[in-house]
Amino acid sequence: MPNDPLARYHFTDDHGHQLENCVEYRELLAENERLREEVARLNKEADWLGLRLWGTGGVPPVEDFDVRADRIKMWREAARKAVEEKNG
C-alpha cells in the first residue's frame, strides 16, 4: 500500500509470522484508508461550510432544538452535495 505509515514496521503475530500476509492486517489497513478518506471528505465539507457562513453570523441561535437541528442538518447536506459535485 503506497504511503502506508505502518510500512516501516514489521508486525508479527504470536508465532512470529509476518502480518503483511494476514487477512485481518490487510482488512485493518483497508479500513484505515477508508477512514482517512472519510476524514478528508469531512474536512472539505467543513471548509465549504466555513466559507459559506463567513460573515453571515453562522447558524442563528434558535430556542427550539428541533428547528436548530434541522438547520444544521440542512447545512451539512448542502456541504456534502457541494463537495460531491466538486469532486465529481
Per-10-residue mean pLDDT, the chain, length 88: 58 71 80 94 85 64 64 81 81
Overall number of domains in the chain? 1
Query: Which residues constitute the domain of residue 37?
Result: 19-87
Residue 30 falls within a domain, yes or no?
A: yes
Residue 60 falls within a domain, yes or no?
A: yes
Residue 13 falls within a domain, yes or no?
A: no
With 0-12 / 13-18 / 19 or more C-beta atoms within 10 angstroms meaning exposed / middle / buried, residue 45 is buried
- Confidence at residue 1, expressed as pLDDT on a 0 to 100 scale: 47
- Structure pTM? 0.55
Residue 33 falls within a domain, yes or no?
A: yes
Residue 27 falls within a domain, yes or no?
A: yes
Residue 55 falls within a domain, yes or no?
A: yes
Residue 8 falls within a domain, yes or no?
A: no
Residue 78 falls within a domain, yes or no?
A: yes
Three-point CA angle 39, 40, 41, nearest 5°: 90
